[in-house]
């Protein structure tokens, strides 16, 4: 079994990972069908498919978060999620 795929990305939304971008992100993570986690700084990783967990990170614009996906197609899942996080959904 291969190691989980991981990627560090910068939050692009000008108001951070609040309700709307968090909902889009969590839904995409849920739709991925494989376990995905997100963490910020030294904080613990949380379930990326849980909107409440994602909002609880308190990720602001410009913050860096680390995504980890484990399973078939993990790199493709990270590509999709990275695009969601780096896009400014507040523009």
Q: Looking at 4, 7, 15, 18, which residue is catalytic?
A: 18
Q: What pLDDT is stored for residue 3 in this prediction?
A: 84
* Domains contained in the chain, CATH given: 5-86 (3.30.1340.10)
Instruction: Let me know: does 77 contact 38? Beta carbons within 8 Å.
Output: no
Q: What pLDDT is stored for residue 1 in this prediction?
A: 55
Mean pLDDT, residues 67-81 taken together: 97
Q: What are the tens digits of pLDDT across the range 53-63? A: 999 999 999 99
Q: Identify the band that residue 89 occupies on the pLDDT scale cut at 50, 70 and 90.
A: confident
Q: Is 18 labeled as catalytic in the residue annotation?
A: yes
Q: What pLDDT is stored for residue 7 in this prediction?
A: 97
Q: What is the pTM of this model?
A: 0.94
Instruction: Let me know: does 86 contact 10? Beta carbons within 8 Å.
Output: yes
Mean pLDDT, residues 36-59 taken together: 96
């Amino acid at each position: 079994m291969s190691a989980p795929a991981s990627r560090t990305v910068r939050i692009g939304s000008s108001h951070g990972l609040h309700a709307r971008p968090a909902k889009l992100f969590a839904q995409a993570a849920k739709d991925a069908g494989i376990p995905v986690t997100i963490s910020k700084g030294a904080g613990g990783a949380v379930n990326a498919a849980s909107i409440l967990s994602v909002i609880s990170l308190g990720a602001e614009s410009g913050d860096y978060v680390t995504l980890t996906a484990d399973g078939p197609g993990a790199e493709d899942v990270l590509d999709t999620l990275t695009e969601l996080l780096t896009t400014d959904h507040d523009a």
